[in-house]
Amino acid sequence: MAEVVSRQLTVLSREWCHLCHELVDQLRPLATELGWSVEVIDVDQHPELEARWDELVPVVLAGDVELCHYHLDEAAVRAHCAAFPLESAS
């Protein structure tokens, strides 16, 4: 049986961070175009994430793979997502 791939991008963010809001606003339409969802997690609510990612926020992750931080790297997101083609409706 084929492995199920989660088509979710995670943004580690902060509520008060303008770079975070800008990145999410740019990422959402791109993710929709590519057939992926976006989850936003506030690192200030998760001490273990804050300890690991603190000054790199905002960070875009696909699973445990860091795609970019501070600013959206559209090429990196597209390249990662392209490695997981949409399943056929068979």
Domain coordinates in residue numbering, the chain: 30-46+56-85
**pLDDT surpasses 90 at 89:** no
pLDDT-derived band at 80, boundaries 50, 70, 90: very high
The answer, yes or no, to whether residue 8 has pLDDT greater than 90, is yes
pLDDT per residue as tens digits for the range 31-73: 999 999 999 999 999 999 999 999 999 999 999 999 999 999 9
Q: Which two tokens stand for residue 39?
A: 């989850």
Pairing state of beta strands 8-13 and 37-42?
parallel
Q: Percent of the chain beyond pLDDT 70? A: 88
For residues 80 and 39, what is the distance between their CA atoms, to the nearest angstrom?
17
Angle at 40 between CA 86 and CA 81, to 5 degrees: 25
Q: How many residues does the chain have?
A: 90
Q: What are phi and psi of 82, to 5 degrees?
A: -65, -20
